[in-house]
Structure 1
Amino acid sequence: MNLRSNLTPGTTEWAVRRAQWRAMGIQDADLEKPKIAIVNSSSQLSICFTHLDEVAREVATEIRAAGGLPFEIRTAAPSDFITSAGRQARYLMPTRDLVVNDIEVQVEGALLDGMVCLSSCDKTTPAHLMAAGRLDVPTVVVIGGYQAGGMCEGVRVDIDDVYEQVGAYAAGKLDLAGLTALTEHAVDGPGVCAGLGTANTMHILAEALGMTMPGSAPVRAGSEAMLERARAAGRAIVALIANGQRPRATMTREAFENAVVVDLAIAGSVNSARHLQAIAVETGVDVDIYGLIERLSLEVPMVCAVRPNGLHHVDDLDRAGGARAVLARLRDRLHLDVMTVTGRSLGDVLADVEVEDDTVIRPLAKAFRPTSGLTLVRGSLAPDGAIVKIGAVPAGRERFTGGARVFATEDDAKRAIADGGIAGGEVVVLAGFGPKGGPGTVFAAGLVAALNGAGLASEVAVVTDGELSGLNRGITIGQVMPEAAEGGPLGLVREGDTIVIDLIERRVDLDVDAAELAARRSLRVEPPLPTSRSWLTFYRHLVQPLSAGAVLGPVTSDE
């Protein structure tokens, strides 16, 4: 193979690298083989990542057996439930892009020939796909899998229950002992949250994009099925390098359209839109993910109802055939000629696939909803759009009008819940929570979970330019564009203003006189750019709008 990693003998780069690698025990014959990064985000900070070292070893063994030379590299490991503790979770979204750049430094700096990315919690899967698109070196994504829940007082529980019951505790409906008991039993093994949150959604969409081995998602973390897909990825990456198949030949416009169709059909996480858009930007594909969601959401039925969208669990979806079965169910709506990392087309991959349980992945004619469970809304409050997981909105609450309750921080809003200061019929507004406004997107999901725990999910709406969890349920409108820090109208909302939400017509409007809004706009003072030496400051100066996936820029057509 003509490998870029095989440097010219006698050069400085060749000599110093050979000295380093020979000292590591690498033999001369190995130095001529494809050199492959195993991108591992293993961490002892979070259960999401604790199993990945074993996975890395399995992948490395298969790479060697297939004729490659593996090198394990490490990156940051952002966990939504651990990395969220500091700075109101502002580090979460920026870490996605930090991982992308970390991978670039290590893979491009060393001129490696390909990579296998071990993807687990929310931000690592999009980061790995973004890096694959940017670097365009042969890549296979290995899905880390979902965690098991447990039993608490005879009831099945998982991390989603813990998240929501914090609200019940704040509202006095659950004592600290009860909440503590939940934390003891909610997680029983490694992997990501057990609901159809951002992590499992992005795992499924990675398969829909053709970047994983078939049957990769969702899968129980650490299971034999998960490890076998990892081994297959180790074999596949060597073949991809030999064949010269690169991510930009896999993640085409048609592949992104397939991913959007799947996202809509499963009612994926509200955060998936920004991640898909970011992956497309980094891959150089001219596709408007938000526009596709807006156009296709009325055409694609919701064939799955996995928590928080319904009563099924993610392991039910796994047993029913997972992403591969969903793709098979939707085959008449997909581009089947797109390539996958198997070297085969999607149509060939799906040729013999059948749905194992029609009650979990329903036929199109018997879908849970005739339209998708994820949609885009526009209106005077969100001129460039906002994302709603309509599949998780209580039945009969698609239309909602209420007075605005404006909070500067999520903690202020949570205190209002605990004090009984938020009542049914109100709309909670959290502005200035976007990528620029944070800086670094503020994680507003805890408030929504607290509203659910307090029994207010069907009585109160939330509108924010911040980040929501894919596990959130209720009348929640997130990722309002443009964000307040970019001059978006969400920053003009005042306490008591009337907000009108119509999810049937797909609108969210601020019912305030135009002259009054103009007066408010004239008084608006742009916050100064931060100057402290911090990753969040650097991010604030570089981050692009949500409509561009909140990638780092500037991004030009020449790049």
Structure 2
Amino acid sequence: MSGLRSNFEPGTTRWAMRRAQWTALGITGEDLEKPKIAIVNSSSGLASCFSHLDGIVPPLSDAIRAAGGVPFEVRTAAPSDAITSAGAAGQYILPSRDLIANDIEVAVEGALLDGMVCLSSCDKTTPAHLMAAGRLNIPAIVVGCGYQPSGRYRGEHVDFEDVFLYAGHVATGKMTVEELAEMSSCAISGPGVCAGMGTANSMHIAAEALGMALPGSTPVLANSPRMWETVAEAGKRILDLIAADIRPRAIMTDGAFRNAVTAVLAISGSVNTLKHLQAVAVEAGCDTDVYGLFERLAPEVPLLTAVKPNGERRIDEFEAAGGTSALLRQLRSLLDLTRPTVGGRTIAEIAEIAETAEVRDEDMIRPVDRPLARHPGIVLVRGSLAPEGGIVKRTVADDAIHRFSGPAKVFRSREEGLAGIRAGEVEPGQVLVLTGLGLRGSPGMGFTSAFVFALDGAGLGDKVAVVTDGQMSGLVNKGLSVAEISPEGALGGPLGLVHDGDRISIDVDARTIELEVPAEELERRRAGLPPLPPAPGCSWLSVYARSVQPLGRGATLGG
């Protein structure tokens, strides 16, 4: 194939060095003229999320070779929310997304490879792969590598979400350590991502709606026949994309992001998709306000499915009903049908042809004229406490409180908040403020899910409200919580100015959140705040803190 950027002029230093290195790897002179494909393997032995990815590489390599390419495995960091959140109070989780994107840039751009197939699994890998695809703008396919099979606990279905929830009950005595140990030892029965509509499955679905994953490939049970079919198809299809010079920025346009946001709203996906899709848009050079899309589209997009934690249905039932392609078929009246995809078909061709997007259970994936609910699953609230916004997640049943007003109780770390719950400092009627956990203050956005689950375990989940500039897990759906308040408290945002006893009012229906303190008093408090000191040292978190941009830019890195 002529014109490949990976082919250097014979006789040059770069040509000779590459030939010497690759000949030692068994690559022939004929191979050197073929398209060179990166298999981006975000794998790790630390978590079951990734434990099957190494096994995917050989058959994918075979498929690429059979299609006329030369595969090169490229490894990156592989964070798991369940494992990597242990250190630094969860601060490594979000920054790892950008580290993966940079890993890919160094390997793929440094070697001037011609295309890439990205093996996506846990929460941060899919957005990182999409970000890298947008940044490098070489032909790329994202392969969602599947959700984990769940287990049974005392005769009932149990999955990782249940373990996550009930861990908060031990501290309050509602569950014993022995019971939790028994549950956790049988909740996961194989590799893959969490079996709920958390961030991983939400982002896999968003990637397909965006056009960057093959049609009909998400969600999928890890190591299932359909996953292997997708792997084989991706190995062949990446060569077609290179031959046709179809690049990510031609796919990830404003209309594509509108489709992805519509799909996320219809499934009441993870709140983390907002900042991830915004980051992808930034990296793809697409001037799209993803947060604005969520605000504008939320009233228009009905809820069509109720996968846990949004309802009682399971992700395997969503897959069996037709998955993302079936969802797009149901949503076709609300989509930009002209958008192309890496599969070679437009969204119209995918969504309008029943053979490729069969809806096998219309109670599982409802039509838009017969939805489960019409309220938004994700709501952006704004007001004097969050001038740039905060995010509320709503279930299909929407049984959480819509309006709440009460005195503030301020905690300045997750640990301080958890200690406050154990010490009985939290009282019904309070608005609990967790501040200093934002992108810069944490740094990296502190993980606050454990605090919410501890409140639930203490029987306070529906008796208080939580507001924080930290992040929630995509599986959190308990009580009234407003997360990712912006601007963050550590940078002088109103959240950092709240004192105990200040009155805070939240109205989800009106999409408002107000701090009932006079503006002049807030300015007096702000003037007394010391400036946030620069992050010292050379650690990844310090580098991140010095370069991270606001949520409106997707928390991407910049100067």
Partners of 2:7 and 2:114 in 1: CA distance: 9
8 A Cα contact 1:113 1:138, kept in partner: yes
C-alpha distance in 2 between matches for 1:413 and 1:178: 25
For the pair 1:501 / 2:506, whether they are aligned, the reply is yes
Asked whether the 8 Å contact 2:400–2:480 carries over to 1, the reply is: no
For 1:374 and 1:133, how far apart are their aligned partners in 2? Answer: 25
Q: Does 1:291 align with 2:295?
A: no
Change (3 A) 1:43 1:396: closer
- Decide whether the 8 Å contact of 1:163 with 1:450 is kept in 2: no
Residues 139 and 238, structure 2, Cα contact 8 Å, conserved in 1: yes
Aligned twin of 1:267:
268
Tell me the equivalent position of 2:539.
534
Q: What pairs up with 1:394-473 in 2 under 5 angstroms?
A: 394-395=398-399, 397-473=401-477
Cα deviation for residue 82 of structure 1 reads 0.6
- Contact residue 417 and residue 451 of structure 2 kept, 8 A: yes
Q: State the TM-score, normalized to the length of structure 1.
A: 0.97
Query: Which stretch of the first structure deviates more once superposed, 128-137 or 430-439?
Result: 430-439
Superposed displacement of residue 396, structure 1: 5.7
Q: What residue is the counterpart of 2:148 in the other structure?
A: 147
**Preserved CA contact (<8 Å) 2:406 2:431:** yes
Instruction: Provide the residue aligned with 1:65 in structure 2.
Output: 66
Question: Does the 8 Å CA contact 1:308/1:392 hold for their aligned counterparts?
Answer: no
- Quote the offset at 1:516 in angstroms: 2.0
SS of 2:395 mapped into structure 1: helix
Match for residue 358 of structure 1? Answer: 362
Q: Which residue of the partner structure matches residue 311 of structure 1?
A: 312
- Tell me the distance in 2 between the aligned counterparts of 1:240 and 1:315: 31
Letter in 2 for 1:461: A
Please tell me the residue identity of whatever aligns with 1:363.
Answer: P
Mapped partners of 1:423, 1:357: distance in 2: 45
TM score, norm. by length of structure 2: 0.97
The residue correspondences of 1:1-150 to structure 2 (distance < 5 A) are 1=1, 2-150=3-151
2:544 counterpart of 1:543:
no
- For the 8 Å contact 1:267–1:309, the answer to whether it is kept is yes
Give me the whole-angstrom Cα distance separating, in 1, the residues matched to 2:115 and 2:428. Answer: 54
1:392 Cα deviation after fit: 6.5
Q: 1:56, CA displacement in angstroms?
A: 1.5
Q: 8 Å contact 2:251–2:340 — kept in the other structure?
A: yes
User: Does residue 224 of the first structure (1) align with residue 225 of the second (2)?
Assistant: yes
AA aligned opposite 1:532: G
Contact 2:150–2:159 (CA under 8 A) maintained in structure 1: yes
RMSD over equivalenced CA pairs, Å: 1.2
Unaligned runs of 5+ residues in structure 2 are none
Q: Is 1:393–1:475's contact at 8 Å kept on the other side of the alignment?
A: no
Q: Higher mean Cα deviation, 182-191 or 507-516?
A: 507-516
Is 2:388 aligned against 1:384? Answer: yes
Change (3 A) 1:37 1:550: same
Q: Which residue of 2 aligns with 1:242?
A: 243
Question: Distance between the aligned counterparts of 2:135 and 2:457, measured in 1?
Answer: 41
| Percent pairwise identity | 54
State how far apart, in whole Å, the 2-side matches of 1:386 and 1:331 are. Answer: 29
Change over 3 Å in CA distance of 1:394–1:255 after alignment to 2:
closer
Task: State the alpha-carbon separation in 1 of the partners of residues 198 and 349 from structure 2.
Answer: 29
The SS at the match of 2:474 is coil
Is residue 518 of structure 1 aligned with residue 519 of structure 2? no
Partner-residue secondary structure (3-state), 1:131: helix
Q: CA deviation at 1:123?
A: 0.4
Give 1:513 shift. Answer: 2.3
Contact 1:219 1:226 in 2 (8 A): yes
What's the offset of the Cα at 1:339? Answer: 0.5
1:310 positional shift:
1.0
Q: How many Å apart are 1:366 and its aligned residue?
A: 2.1
Q: Kindly tell me: are residues 529 and 88 of structure 1, through their superposed partners in 2, closer, same or farther at Cα, counting changes over 3 Å?
A: same
Matching residue's letter, 1:511: E
Listed as ranges, the gaps of 5+ residues in structure 1 are: 555-559
Q: Distance in 2 between matches of 1:56 and 1:461?
A: 46
CA distance in 1, matches of 2:326, 2:372: 16
How many angstroms apart in 1 are the aligned matches of 2:48 and 2:542? Answer: 29
- Amino acid of the structure 1 residue aligned with 2:517: V
Residue-by-residue CA offset, 1:391-448 (whole Å, 9 max, x unaligned): 2685261111122121121122122223333232222211111111111111111212
Question: 1:30·1:69 contact (CA, 8 Å) conserved in 2?
Answer: yes
Using the alignment, how far apart are the partners of 1:345 and 1:394 within structure 2? Answer: 34
Does the residue aligned with 2:84 lie in a helix, a strand or coil? coil
Of residues 337, 350, 371, the one that matches 1:367 is: 371
Q: Which moved more, 1:348-357 or 1:85-94?
A: 348-357
